[in-house]
Amino acid sequence: MFRRREFLAVAAAVPASSAIVNLDKVRVRKAGKVETVFKSPGPKPNGLQATADGLWIMDQGNNKVYLVAYTDGKVLREFNTEANAASGITFDGEALWLASTYSRELIRCNATTGKTIAKYFTPGAGIIYRMVGDPAARSSPLAQPPQPRPEGERRAQRQQVGGFQMGQVQGAAAPGTGAHGMEVREGRLWFTVPPSRMASWARVSNSTFTSSSKW
């Protein structure tokens, strides 16, 4: 089990200078032309997983999962989930994993019905912060102009902690966010956690969630 004191011990052992990256030495390449193949069935797609059955889409806006055809985006399957503004989805061969960002949970659910099989707290979840040397924020070339928010939504935003939405974990207020991406490879569930600036992996067997941090 990943414990807070173990995380702090690892963080303390990493030299402060290693957190600053010389961006001039990072190899880059120009992106190709952006092509819109089809529209997503949900309002805010925020996670993709390619499988033989089709393309899985996790939608952050309505917390629904869609399985669509590669050719034209036709919806083959869709269902509601218990995720809260999820930012990632992957398939382990039997079930789906969802990165429920604002409840700071990793959710495993049935790939046919969406019924939750298990929930785990995201190791390293918390409030995202900036550091010296961080690159400037970028926007997608497909991004739409921001739309005015309803008064009720604006009022809820003012109640957020640390600039980020609050979730509910085990009945207690949980400021901050969790994972923002997932992938299963060679029996390991990999996920990225912006608040802790880490990519981590975990094994799940016999209802035991075991996490190992990777910088």
pLDDT by residue (tens digit) across 183-212? 988 888 999 888 888 888 877 654 456 655
Cα–Cα distance for residue pair 168/191, rounded to 1 Å: 20
> What is the count of structural domains for the chain?
1
Q: Supply the range of the domain harboring residue 202.
A: 43-129+156-215
Instruction: Give pTM, 2 decimals.
Output: 0.70
CA angle 162, 164, 168 (to 5 degrees): 105
- At 36 the pLDDT is 87
User: CA 52 → CA 49, 55, 66, 94, 112, distances in Å?
Assistant: 10, 8, 14, 13, 15
Task: Please check whether residue 19 lies inside any domain of the structure.
Answer: no
CB 59 within 8 A of CB 43: yes
Task: Please check whether residue 91 lies inside any domain of the structure.
Answer: yes
More confident residue, 116 or 17: 116
Q: In degrees to the nearest 10, what's the CA dihedral of 162, 163, 166, 169?
A: -50
**Average pLDDT of the segment spanning 72-100:** 94
Cβ contacts of residue 168 below 8 Å, gap of 6+?
103, 174
Task: Please check whether residue 213 lies inside any domain of the structure.
Answer: yes
Task: Please check whether residue 14 lies inside any domain of the structure.
Answer: no
